[in-house]
Amino acid sequence: YQDVKTAFKYFIEKFNNGRPFILASHSQGTHHSIRLLAEEIDDSDLYSRLVGAYIIGGTISKDWLNQMKDIGVCDSSKQLGCLVHWDTMNVTHINKEMPIYVGNICVNPITWKNEGSLSDLVDAKGAVYVSGDFALEFSGSDEPKNMVFNDLESPKTQYVQAQCKGGALFASDQSGTRFQSFAGSAGNYHGLDYALFYMDIRENAKLKVKTYLNNLK
């Protein structure tokens, strides 16, 4: 966490120049981000410049959020200064008991509503397949691997539906698709938290920035 905190403070002091910013993270990074939000951004001068926080894939509890003084959970696409979070699962597991997610925050990345009903397929802006072997480099040495970062593939629009239930986000079954290669065991789609909703996140970030800047006029 100290590395993340140091990097963030260096960015704010040396490069940000008083501008608004977005925070985004996944998995282990999300565990660091919630601490960064609590210690450095919430109840501080920085909060007024927080456009939004996409802190995804880390089982964040509502109890943790209730301790925040400024930061809340987003419940609309244009809401500013709030956070979104979800943990993606295969919809085929929607009726199974999953105590690990009970009491957690879930914002639907297609409707941008906190909890709510099943999204419409027509509203899904695009899934993007995870490209590049770097996505699988979870551990190992720090030696250079001469990794090539290729261009992203074209998005697959109207590809997935999603619904929050019991603190988890249940998305369309990816069995038999290329996306399935990034699925975990027992219906866990942790490796697809961003990929299935890539364009939805991208377009929402653009909308939030536009809304923030319009509010300054």
Q: According to the model, what pLDDT value does residue 132 have?
A: 67
pLDDT digits (tens, 9 = 90+) for 70-129: 999 999 999 999 999 999 999 999 999 999 999 999 999 999 999 889 999 999 999 999
CB proximity list for 5: less than 8 A, separation 6 or greater: 35, 36, 39, 40
Q: What CA–CA distance (Å, rounded) separates 23 from 16?
A: 13
DSSP single-letter state for residue 55: E
Question: Taking residues 43-61, what's their average pLDDT?
Answer: 97
Closest residue by Cα to residue 130 from 192, 201, 203: 192
Q: According to the model, what pLDDT value does residue 148 have?
A: 74
pLDDT digits (tens, 9 = 90+) for 124-159: 999 999 876 655 565 667 777 777 777 889 999 999
* SS3 category, 84: strand
Q: According to the model, what pLDDT value does residue 147 have?
A: 73
Q: What CA–CA distance (Å, rounded) separates 156 from 171?
A: 15
What ranges do the domains of the chain cover? 2-216
pTM of the predicted protein model: 0.93
Beta-bridge mates of residue 25: 55
Give yes or no for residue 33 having a pLDDT over 90: yes
CB proximity list for 196: less than 8 A, separation 6 or greater: 88, 127, 159, 160, 162, 171, 172, 174, 179, 189
Q: According to the model, what pLDDT value does residue 138 have?
A: 59
Give yes or no for residue 51 having a pLDDT over 90: yes
pLDDT digits (tens, 9 = 90+) for 165-206: 999 999 999 999 999 999 999 999 999 999 999 999 999 999
CB 92 within 8 A of CB 172: no
CB proximity list for 13: less than 8 A, separation 6 or greater: none
Question: Residue 175 class from Cβ within 10 Å (0-12 exposed, 13-18 middle, 19+ buried)?
Answer: exposed
